[in-house]
Structure formats: structure tokens, C-alpha cells
Amino acid sequence: MLDIALIHYPVYNKNQEIIGSAVTNLDLHDLARAGRTYGVGTVYIVTPFSDQQELVAEIVGHWQEGYGASYNRDRKEALTVLEVCTDLAELFERVTCARGGRPTILATGAACRNSQIGFEDVRSGLAAGGHYLLLFGTAWGLTSEVFTMVDGSLPPIIGTGDYNHLSVRSAVAIMLDRILGLRDL
């Protein structure tokens, strides 16, 4: 089983200061849709800020129970995979309890790091019944502290030029396709 988490704290800003970033409507919708498309178990949104947690509940509520539920049934279905956690400790505990054991936790980022695990290795591990939790950072990425709490990292997505600053929505979709996408087309 594969779960993913979008981390809003602790992340870096452009000055490499540790911050908490804001939840965005687009991230919620696009990560839920990508998660549902690729069969992800749960898409966790991690934010310690109560106003941001309320925003997530309001957006999801609109599409689950409000006018949006009848207007767009596909969106309603996609958003069923979203859950909110206050911090990384709660995230790790909830995933461990939900899956009956601690998953292999992998962080992601735009830079190469030690302890990289390849996409094919994760794919093979999932096929063998393994459980993984992928952490994605917002703003300018996960802090160094987060990387000390995980089992490894996935390789970065690298384009053809020297510019490398994808939206997290794009990075999640690409990585999910590399790990879970059909290859026999």
C-alpha cells in the first residue's frame, strides 16, 4: 500500500528559513485526484495551523456534502482519500495504526540526497506487499530535519535545463506515475 503526505510544516522558504506554508485549494484537489487515479490509500495534509485545518474541512465539505457533491461526483469521490494531520508525529502514528505496522517512509525533494531508493525498488516493494509513505514538501521543500526522520528518499525529478522548481502537484503526479503507472501500454 502506498500513502502520501503533503507537508506544510516544517518546510523552507526561499531564504532557507523554517516556516509553515499555507494550504492551497489546487493542491487539495489535484493531489486527491492523482491519489485516486493511481490507487493511493490516503493523501494526508499535514499542517499544525487550526485555520488551515478548518479551510481543508470547508473545501472538502463543499465537495462532499455541499453543492459540489451533486455538481461533480468525480471530485466528491477523489476527495474521500484526504485526511488532515497536525504534525509528523501524528502522521507517522496514524499511518502505522491504519496499516498495521510502520511503513517505509521516503522523503522527496529537488536535490539528490544520500540513501536514495529508486522508483523501481518502490514499485517492486509494493508488488511484494510492502507499505510506503511518501512525504512531499510545500514552499521550498522539506527541512533537513525531516530527512533525518525517514528511511530514505526518492530521486529528484530532473528536467532538461538548469531550472528545477516544479509545483508539488506536478511532482506528485510524475512520481506516482513512475511508481504505480501502467508500463505495458
Per-position b or e across 30-58, b if 16+ CB within 10 A of its CB = bbbbbbbebebbbbbbbbeeeebbebbee
Calpha distance 49→61 (Å, rounded) = 18
**Residue 130: predicted pLDDT:** 98
Is residue 143 classed exposed, middle or buried when 0-12, 13-18 and 19+ CB atoms within 10 A define those classes? buried
Q: How far is CA 33 from the centre of its chain?
A: 12
Number of H helices, E strands in the chain: 8, 8
**Residue 185: predicted pLDDT:** 60
**Residue 164: predicted pLDDT:** 83
**Residue 58: predicted pLDDT:** 93
- Ranges under pLDDT 70 in the chain: 185
Across the chain, which distance is largest between two alpha carbons, in Å? Answer: 47
Preceding omega of 10 cis (within 30 degrees of 0): yes
Asked if residues 44 and 3 have their Cβ atoms less than 8 Å apart, the reply is yes
**Residue 64: predicted pLDDT:** 85
User: pTM for this one?
Assistant: 0.95
Domain boundaries, the chain: 2-180
**Residue 103: predicted pLDDT:** 98
CATH of 2-180, one of 3.30.460.80, 3.40.1280.10, 3.40.50.2300, 1.20.1290.10: 3.40.1280.10
How many Å from the N-terminal Cα to the C-terminal Cα in the chain?
Answer: 23
Spell out where 21-153 has E strands.
43-46, 82-85, 104-107, 132-137, 152-153
**Residue 111: predicted pLDDT:** 86
